[in-house]
Protein backbone atom coordinates (compact mmCIF):
# COMPACT_ATOMS: atom_id res chain seq x y z
CA UNK A 1 0.00 0.00 0.00
CA UNK A 2 1.47 3.38 -1.02
CA UNK A 3 0.62 6.19 1.37
CA UNK A 4 0.33 9.79 0.24
CA UNK A 5 0.99 12.24 3.04
CA UNK A 6 -0.93 15.50 2.67
CA UNK A 7 1.58 17.58 4.62
CA UNK A 8 5.28 17.70 5.35
CA UNK A 9 6.71 16.04 8.44
CA UNK A 10 9.50 17.28 10.69
CA UNK A 11 10.95 14.87 13.27
CA UNK A 12 12.53 16.22 16.47
CA UNK A 13 13.95 13.81 19.04
CA UNK A 14 14.51 14.99 22.62
CA UNK A 15 17.24 13.08 24.47
CA UNK A 16 16.74 11.84 28.02
CA UNK A 17 19.91 13.50 29.29
CA UNK A 18 18.23 16.90 28.93
CA UNK A 19 14.94 15.73 30.48
CA UNK A 20 16.45 16.12 33.92
CA UNK A 21 14.14 18.45 35.85
CA UNK A 22 10.63 19.95 35.77
CA UNK A 23 12.23 23.22 34.64
CA UNK A 24 13.96 21.54 31.70
CA UNK A 25 10.70 20.03 30.47
CA UNK A 26 8.97 23.40 30.70
CA UNK A 27 11.86 24.95 28.76
CA UNK A 28 11.68 22.26 26.08
CA UNK A 29 7.90 22.60 25.81
CA UNK A 30 8.24 26.34 25.21
CA UNK A 31 10.89 25.72 22.54
CA UNK A 32 8.66 23.20 20.75
CA UNK A 33 5.74 25.65 20.78
CA UNK A 34 8.00 28.40 19.40
CA UNK A 35 9.40 26.15 16.66
CA UNK A 36 5.92 25.06 15.64
CA UNK A 37 4.57 28.60 15.47
CA UNK A 38 7.57 30.28 13.84
CA UNK A 39 9.42 27.71 11.74
CA UNK A 40 7.44 24.51 11.27
CA UNK A 41 3.93 25.93 10.92
CA UNK A 42 3.63 24.20 7.54
CA UNK A 43 4.85 20.88 8.94
CA UNK A 44 3.37 18.17 11.08
CA UNK A 45 5.70 17.89 14.05
CA UNK A 46 6.64 14.47 15.41
CA UNK A 47 8.42 14.70 18.78
CA UNK A 48 10.26 11.51 19.77
CA UNK A 49 11.04 11.40 23.49
CA UNK A 50 13.45 9.41 25.60
CA UNK A 51 12.79 8.48 29.23
CA UNK A 52 13.42 11.09 31.92
CA UNK A 53 17.10 11.22 32.86
CA UNK A 54 18.14 8.24 34.98
CA UNK A 55 14.87 6.31 34.72
CA UNK A 56 16.11 3.66 32.27
CA UNK A 57 19.12 2.97 34.50
CA UNK A 58 16.83 2.64 37.54
CA UNK A 59 14.67 0.13 35.69
CA UNK A 60 17.72 -1.87 34.60
CA UNK A 61 19.11 -1.93 38.15
CA UNK A 62 15.75 -3.05 39.52
CA UNK A 63 15.70 -5.99 37.10
CA UNK A 64 19.27 -6.93 37.96
CA UNK A 65 18.25 -7.14 41.62
CA UNK A 66 14.82 -8.63 41.04
CA UNK A 67 15.11 -11.31 43.73
CA UNK A 68 15.65 -8.69 46.44
CA UNK A 69 13.52 -5.92 44.96
CA UNK A 70 10.80 -4.34 47.09
CA UNK A 71 8.45 -4.01 44.14
CA UNK A 72 5.71 -1.88 45.72
CA UNK A 73 8.21 0.58 47.16
CA UNK A 74 10.10 0.78 43.86
CA UNK A 75 6.99 1.47 41.79
CA UNK A 76 5.78 4.04 44.31
CA UNK A 77 9.11 5.89 44.10
CA UNK A 78 8.99 5.87 40.29
CA UNK A 79 5.39 7.12 40.35
CA UNK A 80 6.11 9.97 42.76
CA UNK A 81 9.18 11.03 40.79
CA UNK A 82 7.19 11.41 37.56
CA UNK A 83 4.44 13.42 39.25
CA UNK A 84 6.97 16.20 39.95
CA UNK A 85 7.31 16.97 36.25
CA UNK A 86 3.85 18.38 35.47
CA UNK A 87 0.70 19.76 37.08
CA UNK A 88 -1.53 16.75 36.74
CA UNK A 89 -5.27 16.61 37.19
CA UNK A 90 -6.61 13.80 39.35
CA UNK A 91 -7.53 11.90 36.19
CA UNK A 92 -4.03 12.35 34.76
CA UNK A 93 -2.47 11.16 38.01
CA UNK A 94 -4.58 8.02 37.84
CA UNK A 95 -3.50 7.35 34.24
CA UNK A 96 0.19 7.75 35.13
CA UNK A 97 -0.18 5.46 38.14
CA UNK A 98 -2.06 2.86 36.09
CA UNK A 99 0.68 2.92 33.44
CA UNK A 100 3.47 2.49 36.01
CA UNK A 101 1.69 -0.15 38.06
CA UNK A 102 0.94 -2.18 34.92
CA UNK A 103 4.45 -3.57 35.43
CA UNK A 104 3.61 -4.93 38.87
CA UNK A 105 2.50 -8.41 37.82
CA UNK A 106 5.48 -8.83 35.47
CA UNK A 107 7.91 -7.88 38.23
CA UNK A 108 6.30 -10.18 40.81
CA UNK A 109 6.26 -13.09 38.35
CA UNK A 110 9.95 -12.54 37.58
CA UNK A 111 10.78 -12.36 41.27
CA UNK A 112 8.94 -15.63 41.85
CA UNK A 113 10.93 -17.53 39.21
CA UNK A 114 14.19 -15.81 40.18
CA UNK A 115 15.02 -14.41 36.75
CA UNK A 116 13.80 -11.87 34.22
CA UNK A 117 12.69 -13.33 30.85
CA UNK A 118 13.80 -11.40 27.79
CA UNK A 119 10.30 -10.24 26.90
CA UNK A 120 9.79 -8.89 30.42
CA UNK A 121 13.14 -7.11 30.39
CA UNK A 122 12.36 -5.27 27.16
CA UNK A 123 8.83 -4.39 28.26
CA UNK A 124 9.99 -2.97 31.60
CA UNK A 125 13.10 -1.16 30.39
CA UNK A 126 11.16 0.62 27.62
CA UNK A 127 8.49 1.90 30.00
CA UNK A 128 10.25 5.17 30.81
CA UNK A 129 9.69 6.46 27.29
CA UNK A 130 5.94 5.87 27.52
CA UNK A 131 5.79 7.73 30.82
CA UNK A 132 7.76 10.73 29.56
CA UNK A 133 5.48 10.91 26.49
CA UNK A 134 2.45 11.33 28.76
CA UNK A 135 4.18 14.11 30.69
CA UNK A 136 5.28 15.92 27.52
CA UNK A 137 1.76 15.74 26.10
CA UNK A 138 0.30 17.33 29.26
CA UNK A 139 2.91 20.10 29.33
CA UNK A 140 2.40 21.02 25.69
CA UNK A 141 -1.35 21.13 26.24
CA UNK A 142 -0.77 23.67 29.03
CA UNK A 143 0.88 25.88 26.40
CA UNK A 144 -2.02 25.53 23.99
CA UNK A 145 -0.51 22.83 21.75
CA UNK A 146 -2.47 19.61 21.26
CA UNK A 147 -0.26 16.64 20.44
CA UNK A 148 -1.43 13.04 20.07
CA UNK A 149 0.64 10.19 21.53
CA UNK A 150 1.42 7.55 18.90
CA UNK A 151 2.76 4.38 20.52
CA UNK A 152 5.42 2.45 18.52
CA UNK A 153 3.80 -0.92 19.23
CA UNK A 154 1.17 0.14 16.68
CA UNK A 155 3.51 0.79 13.77
CA UNK A 156 7.26 0.29 14.41
CA UNK A 157 7.98 -3.32 13.44
CA UNK A 158 11.25 -4.95 14.51
CA UNK A 159 13.07 -8.17 13.70
CA UNK A 160 12.17 -9.48 17.15
CA UNK A 161 15.66 -9.67 18.67
CA UNK A 162 15.33 -8.89 22.35
CA UNK A 163 17.70 -6.29 23.75
CA UNK A 164 19.00 -4.89 20.47
CA UNK A 165 16.47 -5.25 17.68
CA UNK A 166 16.50 -3.72 14.21
CA UNK A 167 13.61 -1.85 12.63
CA UNK A 168 12.05 -3.45 9.56
CA UNK A 169 11.56 -0.26 7.61
CA UNK A 170 9.23 -1.41 4.84
CA UNK A 171 6.98 -3.35 7.21
CA UNK A 172 6.86 -0.32 9.51
CA UNK A 173 6.02 1.93 6.58
CA UNK A 174 3.17 -0.42 5.62
CA UNK A 175 1.91 -0.46 9.21
CA UNK A 176 1.82 3.34 9.21
CA UNK A 177 0.00 3.29 5.87
CA UNK A 178 -2.78 1.22 7.43
CA UNK A 179 -3.46 4.09 9.84
CA UNK A 180 -2.88 6.86 7.30
CA UNK A 181 -6.03 8.74 8.31
CA UNK A 182 -4.69 9.16 11.85
CA UNK A 183 -1.42 10.63 10.58
CA UNK A 184 -2.86 13.01 7.99
CA UNK A 185 -3.40 15.83 10.45
CA UNK A 186 -2.09 17.07 13.77
CA UNK A 187 1.19 16.75 15.63
CA UNK A 188 2.50 13.72 17.49
CA UNK A 189 4.58 12.58 20.43
CA UNK A 190 6.21 9.17 20.02
CA UNK A 191 7.97 7.24 22.81
CA UNK A 192 11.38 6.21 21.53
CA UNK A 193 13.63 3.20 22.13
CA UNK A 194 11.33 0.30 21.24
CA UNK A 195 9.08 -1.34 18.68
CA UNK A 196 6.97 -4.45 18.17
CA UNK A 197 8.38 -7.84 17.16
CA UNK A 198 7.36 -9.07 13.73
CA UNK A 199 7.37 -12.66 15.01
CA UNK A 200 5.22 -12.54 18.15
CA UNK A 201 4.16 -8.95 18.79
CA UNK A 202 6.33 -8.56 21.89
CA UNK A 203 7.90 -5.21 22.68
CA UNK A 204 11.61 -5.25 21.82
CA UNK A 205 14.09 -2.48 22.57
CA UNK A 206 16.45 -0.99 20.00
CA UNK A 207 19.55 -0.90 22.20
CA UNK A 208 21.15 1.98 24.07
CA UNK A 209 20.41 5.30 22.39
CA UNK A 210 17.56 3.63 20.53
CA UNK A 211 15.40 6.76 20.49
CA UNK A 212 17.74 8.12 17.80
CA UNK A 213 16.88 5.06 15.74
CA UNK A 214 13.15 5.53 16.38
CA UNK A 215 13.39 9.10 15.08
CA UNK A 216 15.31 8.25 11.92
CA UNK A 217 13.09 5.23 11.18
CA UNK A 218 10.06 7.51 11.42
CA UNK A 219 11.85 9.94 9.14
CA UNK A 220 12.09 7.16 6.57
CA UNK A 221 8.50 5.95 6.98
CA UNK A 222 6.96 9.44 6.86
CA UNK A 223 9.27 10.85 4.17
CA UNK A 224 10.23 13.63 6.58
CA UNK A 225 11.96 16.78 5.39
CA UNK A 226 14.65 16.22 8.02
CA UNK A 227 15.33 14.81 11.48
CA UNK A 228 16.72 16.86 14.38
CA UNK A 229 18.29 15.07 17.36
CA UNK A 230 18.52 17.27 20.47
CA UNK A 231 21.19 16.09 22.91
CA UNK A 232 23.39 17.23 25.79
CA UNK A 233 26.31 17.65 23.35
CA UNK A 234 26.91 20.09 20.50
CA UNK A 235 26.98 17.31 17.89
CA UNK A 236 29.84 15.19 16.56
CA UNK A 237 33.21 16.45 17.74
CA UNK A 238 36.74 15.90 16.47
CA UNK A 239 37.32 13.65 19.48
CA UNK A 240 35.88 12.55 22.81
CA UNK A 241 35.82 15.71 24.98
CA UNK A 242 36.41 13.60 28.10
CA UNK A 243 39.81 12.64 26.64
CA UNK A 244 40.54 15.68 24.47
CA UNK A 245 38.77 18.59 26.21
CA UNK A 246 39.50 21.03 23.38
CA UNK A 247 37.76 18.89 20.73
CA UNK A 248 35.77 21.00 18.28
CA UNK A 249 32.39 20.47 16.65
CA UNK A 250 32.38 18.85 13.20
CA UNK A 251 29.71 20.76 11.31
CA UNK A 252 29.43 18.54 8.24
CA UNK A 253 29.56 14.78 7.72
CA UNK A 254 28.29 12.52 4.99
CA UNK A 255 26.28 9.42 5.83
CA UNK A 256 29.21 7.02 5.62
CA UNK A 257 31.42 9.14 7.88
CA UNK A 258 28.68 9.39 10.51
CA UNK A 259 27.98 5.67 10.20
CA UNK A 260 31.63 4.78 10.80
CA UNK A 261 31.97 7.11 13.78
CA UNK A 262 28.85 5.74 15.48
CA UNK A 263 29.87 2.15 14.70
CA UNK A 264 33.36 2.63 16.13
CA UNK A 265 32.45 3.97 19.53
CA UNK A 266 31.10 7.51 19.27
CA UNK A 267 28.22 7.75 21.73
CA UNK A 268 26.69 10.72 19.93
CA UNK A 269 24.51 8.61 17.64
CA UNK A 270 22.91 5.14 17.75
CA UNK A 271 24.86 2.76 15.52
CA UNK A 272 21.86 2.05 13.26
CA UNK A 273 20.39 5.55 13.11
CA UNK A 274 22.06 6.72 9.90
CA UNK A 275 20.87 3.99 7.53
CA UNK A 276 17.13 4.86 7.35
CA UNK A 277 17.96 8.43 6.34
CA UNK A 278 20.73 7.47 3.93
CA UNK A 279 18.26 5.33 1.99
CA UNK A 280 16.16 8.41 1.22
CA UNK A 281 18.81 11.15 1.43
CA UNK A 282 17.04 12.80 4.37
CA UNK A 283 19.25 15.28 6.27
CA UNK A 284 20.04 14.64 9.94
CA UNK A 285 20.86 17.49 12.32
CA UNK A 286 22.40 17.03 15.77
CA UNK A 287 22.44 19.90 18.26
CA UNK A 288 22.25 20.97 21.89
CA UNK A 289 19.12 22.46 23.41
CA UNK A 290 20.87 25.84 23.60
CA UNK A 291 21.63 25.83 19.89
CA UNK A 292 18.09 24.69 19.07
CA UNK A 293 16.86 27.88 20.77
CA UNK A 294 18.85 29.88 18.21
CA UNK A 295 17.01 28.32 15.27
CA UNK A 296 15.00 31.34 14.16
CA UNK A 297 14.20 30.43 10.57
CA UNK A 298 13.89 27.39 8.33
CA UNK A 299 16.54 28.92 6.05
CA UNK A 300 19.12 28.76 8.85
CA UNK A 301 18.54 25.01 9.02
CA UNK A 302 18.70 24.48 5.26
CA UNK A 303 21.85 26.60 4.83
CA UNK A 304 23.59 25.10 7.87
CA UNK A 305 24.27 28.57 9.28
CA UNK A 306 23.95 27.34 12.83
CA UNK A 307 26.18 25.40 15.20
CA UNK A 308 24.68 21.97 14.39
CA UNK A 309 26.32 18.86 12.99
CA UNK A 310 24.56 18.17 9.69
CA UNK A 311 24.70 14.72 8.10
CA UNK A 312 23.56 14.47 4.49
CA UNK A 313 24.51 13.66 0.91
CA UNK A 314 26.94 16.02 -0.77
CA UNK A 315 25.88 16.60 -4.36
CA UNK A 316 27.65 18.81 -6.87
CA UNK A 317 25.84 21.86 -5.53
CA UNK A 318 27.47 21.73 -2.12
CA UNK A 319 30.53 19.56 -2.74
CA UNK A 320 32.91 22.51 -2.34
CA UNK A 321 31.42 23.44 1.02
CA UNK A 322 31.93 19.88 2.22
CA UNK A 323 35.56 19.87 1.08
CA UNK A 324 36.23 23.14 2.91
CA UNK A 325 35.00 21.46 6.08
CA UNK A 326 37.96 19.07 6.02
CA UNK A 327 41.19 19.67 7.81
CA UNK A 328 44.15 19.85 5.45
CA UNK A 329 44.39 16.09 5.85
CA UNK A 330 40.67 15.36 5.19
CA UNK A 331 40.17 13.80 8.64
CA UNK A 332 36.89 14.62 10.35
CA UNK A 333 37.12 12.88 13.71
CA UNK A 334 38.81 10.24 15.87
CA UNK A 335 36.69 7.68 17.71
CA UNK A 336 37.49 5.00 20.29
CA UNK A 337 35.72 2.03 21.84
CA UNK A 338 36.80 -0.42 24.54
CA UNK A 339 33.84 -2.70 23.84
CA UNK A 340 35.86 -5.22 21.89
CA UNK A 341 37.30 -8.68 22.29
CA UNK A 342 39.34 -10.68 19.80
CA UNK A 343 38.81 -14.38 19.12
CA UNK A 344 41.71 -15.75 17.11
CA UNK A 345 41.57 -19.00 15.13
CA UNK A 346 45.02 -20.25 14.11
CA UNK A 347 45.97 -22.81 11.48
CA UNK A 348 48.77 -23.17 8.93
CA UNK A 349 46.45 -24.08 6.04
CA UNK A 350 43.88 -21.29 6.37
CA UNK A 351 45.15 -19.42 3.32
CA UNK A 352 44.91 -22.48 1.06
CA UNK A 353 41.59 -24.00 2.15
CA UNK A 354 38.38 -22.31 0.93
CA UNK A 355 35.31 -21.89 3.12
CA UNK A 356 36.85 -21.79 6.60
CA UNK A 357 36.04 -18.14 7.28
CA UNK A 358 32.52 -18.63 5.93
CA UNK A 359 31.93 -21.64 8.17
CA UNK A 360 33.17 -19.84 11.29
CA UNK A 361 31.27 -16.63 10.53
CA UNK A 362 28.00 -18.41 9.74
CA UNK A 363 28.12 -20.41 12.96
CA UNK A 364 28.76 -17.25 14.98
CA UNK A 365 25.94 -15.41 13.19
CA UNK A 366 23.49 -18.25 13.90
CA UNK A 367 24.18 -17.78 17.61
CA UNK A 368 22.95 -14.19 17.35
CA UNK A 369 26.38 -12.58 17.75
CA UNK A 370 27.34 -9.61 15.61
CA UNK A 371 30.89 -9.73 14.24
CA UNK A 372 32.17 -6.14 14.22
CA UNK A 373 34.80 -6.98 11.63
CA UNK A 374 37.33 -9.64 10.61
CA UNK A 375 41.09 -9.41 10.11
CA UNK A 376 42.71 -12.36 8.34
CA UNK A 377 46.18 -13.57 7.46
CA UNK A 378 47.66 -16.71 5.92
CA UNK A 379 47.64 -18.45 9.30
CA UNK A 380 44.93 -16.79 11.38
CA UNK A 381 41.37 -15.51 11.37
CA UNK A 382 40.60 -12.81 13.94
CA UNK A 383 37.00 -12.05 14.85
CA UNK A 384 36.46 -8.72 16.58
CA UNK A 385 33.29 -8.83 18.67
CA UNK A 386 31.69 -7.07 21.66
CA UNK A 387 33.03 -8.02 25.08
CA UNK A 388 29.54 -9.14 26.11
CA UNK A 389 29.60 -11.81 23.39
CA UNK A 390 33.01 -13.28 24.24
CA UNK A 391 31.84 -16.19 26.40
CA UNK A 392 29.19 -17.18 23.87
CA UNK A 393 31.68 -17.19 20.97
CA UNK A 394 34.28 -19.14 22.95
CA UNK A 395 31.74 -21.79 23.87
CA UNK A 396 30.60 -22.02 20.25
CA UNK A 397 34.20 -22.19 19.03
CA UNK A 398 34.84 -25.30 21.08
CA UNK A 399 32.12 -27.10 19.13
CA UNK A 400 33.60 -26.31 15.71
CA UNK A 401 34.88 -29.52 14.13
CA UNK A 402 37.24 -28.09 11.53
CA UNK A 403 40.51 -30.00 11.29
CA UNK A 404 42.27 -26.90 9.94
CA UNK A 405 41.81 -25.08 13.27
CA UNK A 406 44.90 -25.85 15.34
CA UNK A 407 44.41 -23.36 18.17
CA UNK A 408 41.82 -20.90 19.46
CA UNK A 409 42.89 -17.89 21.53
CA UNK A 410 41.09 -14.84 22.84
CA UNK A 411 42.22 -11.38 23.83
CA UNK A 412 40.46 -8.74 25.86
CA UNK A 413 41.41 -5.45 27.55
CA UNK A 414 41.87 -3.93 24.11
CA UNK A 415 40.65 -0.70 22.53
CA UNK A 416 39.88 0.13 18.93
CA UNK A 417 40.69 3.60 17.61
CA UNK A 418 39.18 4.73 14.31
CA UNK A 419 40.26 7.71 12.22
CA UNK A 420 37.42 8.83 9.95
CA UNK A 421 37.18 11.13 6.94
CA UNK A 422 36.16 10.86 3.32
CA UNK A 423 39.18 10.73 1.03
CA UNK A 424 41.66 9.51 3.62
CA UNK A 425 42.60 6.46 1.56
CA UNK A 426 43.47 8.68 -1.41
CA UNK A 427 45.29 11.33 0.60
CA UNK A 428 49.06 10.89 0.76
CA UNK A 429 50.64 10.19 4.14
CA UNK A 430 47.56 9.76 6.34
CA UNK A 431 48.54 6.29 7.60
CA UNK A 432 52.12 7.37 8.27
CA UNK A 433 50.86 10.31 10.34
CA UNK A 434 48.57 8.05 12.39
CA UNK A 435 51.12 5.38 13.15
CA UNK A 436 54.03 7.78 13.36
CA UNK A 437 52.24 9.62 16.16
CA UNK A 438 51.44 6.38 17.97
CA UNK A 439 54.98 5.06 17.52
CA UNK A 440 56.53 8.22 18.93
CA UNK A 441 54.43 7.63 22.01
CA UNK A 442 55.99 4.19 22.47
CA UNK A 443 52.67 2.42 21.91
CA UNK A 444 52.42 -0.98 20.27
CA UNK A 445 49.75 -1.44 17.59
CA UNK A 446 48.38 -4.97 17.56
CA UNK A 447 46.16 -4.96 14.47
CA UNK A 448 45.47 -2.53 11.63
CA UNK A 449 42.72 -2.37 9.03
CA UNK A 450 42.66 0.05 6.10
CA UNK A 451 40.62 -0.25 2.93
CA UNK A 452 37.65 -2.13 4.37
CA UNK A 453 35.88 1.23 4.30
CA UNK A 454 36.54 4.21 2.05
CA UNK A 455 36.33 6.61 4.98
CA UNK A 456 38.16 4.99 7.91
CA UNK A 457 41.40 3.49 9.15
CA UNK A 458 41.35 1.73 12.48
CA UNK A 459 43.78 -0.05 14.76
CA UNK A 460 43.74 -2.04 18.00
CA UNK A 461 46.00 -1.54 20.99
CA UNK A 462 46.06 -2.39 24.71
CA UNK A 463 43.49 -0.70 26.94
CA UNK A 464 46.24 0.75 29.11
CA UNK A 465 47.55 2.68 26.11
CA UNK A 466 44.17 3.63 24.64
CA UNK A 467 43.75 7.18 25.94
CA UNK A 468 47.36 8.08 25.24
CA UNK A 469 47.11 6.79 21.66
CA UNK A 470 43.82 8.63 21.18
CA UNK A 471 45.31 11.93 22.36
CA UNK A 472 48.37 11.53 20.13
CA UNK A 473 46.31 10.85 17.00
CA UNK A 474 43.90 13.70 17.76
CA UNK A 475 46.81 16.08 18.31
CA UNK A 476 48.42 15.02 15.04
CA UNK A 477 45.40 16.03 12.97
CA UNK A 478 43.58 18.68 14.96
CA UNK A 479 45.98 20.54 17.24
CA UNK A 480 48.79 22.99 16.59
CA UNK A 481 52.10 22.86 18.41
CA UNK A 482 50.65 24.95 21.25
CA UNK A 483 47.72 22.49 21.52
CA UNK A 484 45.25 24.96 20.05
CA UNK A 485 42.56 23.21 18.07
CA UNK A 486 42.70 23.59 14.30
CA UNK A 487 39.64 24.87 12.48
CA UNK A 488 37.46 22.13 11.02
CA UNK A 489 35.43 24.34 8.70
- In this structure, are strands 252-253 and 373-376 parallel, antiparallel, or unpaired? unpaired
Which residues 6+ apart lie within 8 Å of 136 measured at CB? 14, 25, 28, 29, 47, 49, 147, 189
Assess contact for 225 and 12: CB atoms under 8 A: no
- For 263, list phi and psi in degrees, rounded to 5: -70, -35
- In this structure, are strands 226-231 and 284-288 parallel, antiparallel, or unpaired? parallel
H-run or E-run covering 391? helix 390-398
- For 286, list phi and psi in degrees, rounded to 5: -125, 130
Q: How many CB atoms lie within 10 A of CB 57?
A: 13
Which residues 6+ apart lie within 8 Å of 38 measured at CB? 296, 297
User: From CA 384, how far away is CA 165, in angstroms rounded?
Assistant: 20
Please state the length of the chain: 489
Binding residue positions for ATP: 267-268
Facing residues of 274 across strands? none
Q: Is the dihedral of CA 113, 117, 120, 122 positive or negative?
A: positive
Which residues 6+ apart lie within 8 Å of 363 measured at CB? 396, 400
| Residue 478 vs residues 258, 297, 323, 379: alpha-carbon distances, Å | 18, 32, 16, 38
H-run or E-run covering 336? strand 333-337
Q: Is the dihedral of CA 171, 173, 177, 181 positive or negative?
A: positive
Q: How many CB atoms lie within 10 A of CB 280?
A: 12
Binding residue positions: 267-268
Amino acid sequence: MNQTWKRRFQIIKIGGSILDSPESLVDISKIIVSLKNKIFKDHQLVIVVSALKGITNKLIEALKNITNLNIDSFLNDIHNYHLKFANFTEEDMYLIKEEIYSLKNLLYASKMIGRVPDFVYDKVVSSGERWSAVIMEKLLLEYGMKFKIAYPENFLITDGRYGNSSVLLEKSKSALAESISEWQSGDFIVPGFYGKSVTNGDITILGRGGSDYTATSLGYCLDADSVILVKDVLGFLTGDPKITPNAKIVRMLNYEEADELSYFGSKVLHHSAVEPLRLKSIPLYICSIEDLKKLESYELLLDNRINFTVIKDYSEGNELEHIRDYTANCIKSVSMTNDIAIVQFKGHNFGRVPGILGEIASRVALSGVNIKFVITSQTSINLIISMSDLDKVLKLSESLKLKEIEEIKFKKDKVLIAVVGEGLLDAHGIASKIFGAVSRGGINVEMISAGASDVSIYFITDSKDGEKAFKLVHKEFFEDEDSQIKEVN
